[in-house]
Amino acid sequence: MNLYELSSAYQQIQVLIEDGQDGLEDTLAALNDAIEIKADGYAKVMKNLEAQAKAIKAEEERLAERRKSLENNIKKLKESLKQAMLNAGMKRIKTELFSFTIQKNPPSVEVLNEKAIPVNYFVPQDPKLDKKSILADLKNGIEVPGVELKQSEGLRIR
């Protein structure tokens, strides 16, 4: 998927990036374009890669939804067959292709009231740092020992 037509040098860069090959730095260094032309070329390559990444993410989401739908259909079919066997009073069926058996699952715990459970059944956990809260306090001028506000720079392309 190409949004932009790329010169052969930038096409080579995109291919190297997509394939995860070595030599990307050498190819970038060999470009003798002016910085403005080089920046445009980089931006075009980045936009093409972003479009590919977006398309792949959308396909991943579509496939995940499809997988969930199939798994739910399997559960419904399995439960329907189990109910049909129970209604017929059958715990076992053997055919030429498959064997079906209704059996008890391993015991499991169902929590009815978590507050009534003794503390020794709880797994202690390490405290988790709330960086969002720290950032908000620092922005509001509140000093928090052990941290400092850091400001970095990033490239924005419009």
The domain ranges of the chain are 8-105
Provide the Cα torsion 133, 139, 142, 148; round to 10°: 80
> What pTM value is reported for the model?
0.60
Write the pLDDT tens digit of every residue in 6-35: 677 777 777 777 777 766 666 666 666 666
Write the pLDDT tens digit of every residue in 36-51: 777 887 888 889 889 9
